[in-house]
Structure 1
Amino acid sequence: MNQRARIAMPDDEVTALLEGARKLQLATINPDGTPHLVTMFYGLDGKGRITFWTYAKSQKARNLARDRRVSCLIEAGEEYAELRGVLIYGEAVRLDDPMEVGMAVARRTTPGVADDLLRPYVEQTGRKRFAYAVEPGKVVSWDHRRLT
């Protein structure tokens, strides 16, 4: 077995990393073809897909209107021997209701805060945001802890 196969995570560990993290690096494609890379808070929908929201006038929203392809990187670990990550190549699909995604993101970024306290903020900021779900294509994972 090659090293790449040795460090790949099984599906349940990929799911656990996605469920446990709060931030991802999101890459969209600028008009000139260069990557536009940002850190985003995210949620997960009932299908286990990554969801996020962003201001409608943001660069990423403009990029996604033109080209839906994205890359999402979720990683953990500080030292080389601890590094774990999931890289998802897919397409961002715009959703009709930003409130649901906004609430999912808000819950993950402010654990323990009641929905009735989160909802006014999400409603206020949601008026200017688009929500997306990432339809995964290729998923690549690694866990360097498997090397020992």
Structure 2
Amino acid sequence: MAASTQRRGRRIMMAPEELDTFLREARTCRVATVSADGTPHVGALWFVWDGTSLWLYSITRSKRWAQLRRDPRISVVVDDGEDYGELRGVELSGTVEFVGEAPRTGEPCPELDVPERLFPAKNFGLDDMPHDGRHAWMRLTPTAIASWDFRKLGGL
């Protein structure tokens, strides 16, 4: 995984296999983008993780899509836990790439074979990717990853 080394919190950071399992199992992420005037925007979105990249399937008429088309820099948080000692999560940052046609209608695109197999199985319990003509794919191959798992603190 091409990501920067986490400097602080080494005690609570996830090992690569923990991070991979967490991202494969989690369903919802929070996507942060920046508007033209610099105002941040955060929204929830379903995703899939292929072991290297986070794949986001977004409505092409959304504020998020328009902002990322203008400025592809992104930060994504996936987190879990209720009590302090249960908190865990991952922040992934980098630049998105738009993959396939927009909106996606199902035209052959080998780059989308893996996310279009993983996404419907994870989120809908389906074998085939439904295409509604409103969504399209973005790939985030993170340049920075920070993770935390407060369960490693041992009951604090």
1:107 equivalent in structure 2: 121
Contact in 2 for aligned 1:61/1:130 (Cα 8 Å): no
Match of 2:10 among 5, 27, 31: 5
Count of residue pairs the alignment pairs up: 138
TM-score by length of 2: 0.79
User: Which runs of 5 or more residues in structure 2 are unaligned?
Assistant: 1-6, 107-111
- Kindly, what percent of the aligned residue pairs are identical? 27
C-alpha offsets along residues 69-91 of structure 1, whole Å, 9 cap, x if unaligned? 11111111111001110000111
> What SS is found at the alignment partner of 2:92?
strand
1:16 equivalent in structure 2: 21
1:103, distance to aligned residue in structure 2 (A): 5.2
**One-letter amino acid matched to 2:73:** R
**One-letter amino acid matched to 2:48:** G
Check 1:21–1:33 CA distance in 2 against 1; reply closer, same or farther (3 A cut).
same
Contact in 1 for aligned 2:88/2:147 (Cα 8 Å): yes
- Inter-partner Cα distance in structure 1 for 2:124 and 2:67: 28
Contact in 1 for aligned 2:52/2:141 (Cα 8 Å): no
TM-score by length of 1: 0.83
Please list, as runs of the form range in 1=range in 2, the aligned pairs for 1:1-148 lying within 5 A after superposition. 4-45=9-50, 47-96=51-100, 98=104, 99=106, 100=112, 101=115, 104-111=118-125, 113=126, 115=127, 118-119=128-129, 122-123=130-131, 125=132, 127-148=133-154
> What SS is found at the alignment partner of 1:40?
strand
* RMSD over aligned Cα atoms: 2.0
- Inter-partner Cα distance in structure 2 for 1:70 and 1:93: 11
Contact in 1 for aligned 2:27/2:48 (Cα 8 Å): yes
1:3, distance to aligned residue in structure 2 (A): 7.0
1:102, distance to aligned residue in structure 2 (A): 5.2
User: Which runs of 5 or more residues in structure 1 are unaligned?
Assistant: none
C-alpha offsets along residues 27-59 of structure 1, whole Å, 9 cap, x if unaligned? 1111211211111011123x5311011122211
Contact in 1 for aligned 2:23/2:48 (Cα 8 Å): no
Q: Which moved more, 1:92-101 or 1:15-24?
A: 92-101
Report the structure, 1 or 2, having the larger helix content: 1
- Inter-partner Cα distance in structure 2 for 1:92 and 1:3: 26
